[in-house]
Amino acid sequence: MNLKKLLTKDTICLHLKGTSKEDIINELLDILHSTGKIRDREAAYAAVMDREKKMSTGMKHGIAIPHGKTASVEDLVACIGISDASVDFDSLDGEPCRIFIMTLSTLEKTGPHLQFLAEISLLFKSSEKRAEILKAMSAEEVLKILAD
């Protein structure tokens, strides 16, 4: 999976403003919608929230990976948001999150979705990588960190 093909400077936001899980999810969906990555924002929202009801996508180490499957995308799409403040996301470790990676995929294809989630999880296991992302000053810098 090539993260650089999937993520662009337009799908990275360094200063999310949301203070709740729902706020953050809405901001991330706004990014994907404004870049033309999703056709039906409401359907995408429903897919992500449905997934959240099953189990929180707040992982460990300040990272959340809200995701879902929806007919409102043609292929796997993703965006990254970083919050200046910590946000409670019902994480597995009980800690708030600052790094948010949203992905949406088609209803039919499971492979790319699972591959993306696995790759992101591996990438962010590194505390150095997480710290670099949080210090990044531009979307281009985030892309470079992810590519290294």
Tens digit of pLDDT for each residue in 41-70?
A: 999 999 999 999 999 999 999 999 999 999
Contact 129, 93 (CB under 8 A): no
pLDDT digits (tens, 9 = 90+) for 103-145: 999 988 777 777 887 777 777 788 999 999 999 999 999 999 8
For tokens 């960190």, name the residue: 145
Question: Rounded to two decimals, what is the model's pTM?
Answer: 0.93
Q: Which domains does the chain have, with CATH numbers?
A: 3-147 (3.40.930.10)
Apex 48 CA angle, 17 and 65, nearest 5: 65
Radius of gyration of the chain (CA): 14
Angstrom CA distances, 128 to 17, 132, 133, stand at 24, 6, 9
Q: Quick one: tokens of 6? A: 């999937």
